[in-house]
């Protein structure tokens, strides 16, 4: 069962689960579908995960951790300008949604399906990610690049980014980076 481990096998299964959860939604994804995608029978799944909930928790943990890691990397390889950091965060966010793919989408859209215990256990991760955004936005406000309420600006920006999952076509003419840049341009004071 390996409750708290991160064996390569479990990692791989988590990746496949994320894909199905995005396509079908958590509730409509059955353990039989998951097993088939993984090339095993449904009974075997429960050797790796205690129950379906634990699969969701694993996906969401990975998705949030990825987002955190990619955002940190983006900020480090980034000049000091607050405007550049804003761009970097927006690009990183969309990168986790459309390139790294799936797990972060599940974290954002299926969070409510977590049971209270898992939600409590993972909320510090989500909070850490949002805190990074908070800092970047604070700096941008302080420099007068954008204006408005710290909290609301954060929510609106993340909302605009998250909702791209519902309409953006990665095979269309625009890249995720185009989207990120356009969003930042839209809110910059001129």
Partner DNA sequence: GTCTATAGCGGGATAGAC
Partner DNA sequence: GTCTATCCCGCTATAGAC
Which residues of this chain interact with DNA, rule CB under 7 A?
2, 7, 9, 29-32, 35, 39-44, 46-48, 50-53
DSSP string, 74-95: HHHTS-S-HHHHHHHHHHHHHH
User: Nearest approach, Cβ of 155 to a copy of itself (angstroms)?
Assistant: 6
CA distances from 115 to 14, 119, 159 (A): 18, 6, 23
Which x/- pattern over 20-39 shows residues binding a copy of itself (rule: CB under 8 A)?
A: -----x-xx-----------
The binder of a copy of itself chosen from 2, 44, 123, 189 (CB under 8 A): 189
67 three-class SS: helix
The binder of a copy of itself chosen from 115, 143, 149, 177 (CB under 8 A): 149
The binder of a copy of itself chosen from 43, 167, 169, 171 (CB under 8 A): 167
Q: Which is nearer to a copy of itself, 12 or 27 (CB)?
A: 27
| DSSP count for the chain of H helices, then E strands | 9, 0
Query: Quick check: 86 and 184 in contact, CB under 8 A?
Result: yes
């Amino acid at each position: 069962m390996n409750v708290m481990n991160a064996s390569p096998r479990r990692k791989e299964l988590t990746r496949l689960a994320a894909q199905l959860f995005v396509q079908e939604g958590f509730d409509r994804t059955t353990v039989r579908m998951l097993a088939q995608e993984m090339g095993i029978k449904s009974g075997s799944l429960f050797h790796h995960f205690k129950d379906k909930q634990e699969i969701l928790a694993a996906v969401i943990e990975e998705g949030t951790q990825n987002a955190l890691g990619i955002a940190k990397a983006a900020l480090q390889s980034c000049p000091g300008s607050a405007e550049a950091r804003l761009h970097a965060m927006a690009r990183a966010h969309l990168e986790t949604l459309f390139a790294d793919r799936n797990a972060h989408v599940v974290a954002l859209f299926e969070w409510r399906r977590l049971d209270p215990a898992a939600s409590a256990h993972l909320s510090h991760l989500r909070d850490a990610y949002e805190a990074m955004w908070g800092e970047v936005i604070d700096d941008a406000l302080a420099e007068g690049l954008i204006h408005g309420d710290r909290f609301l600006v954060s929510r609106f920006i993340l909302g605009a980014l998250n909702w791209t999952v519902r309409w953006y076509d990665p095979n269309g003419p625009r890249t995720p980076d185009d989207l990120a840049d356009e969003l930042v341009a839209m809110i910059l004071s001129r």
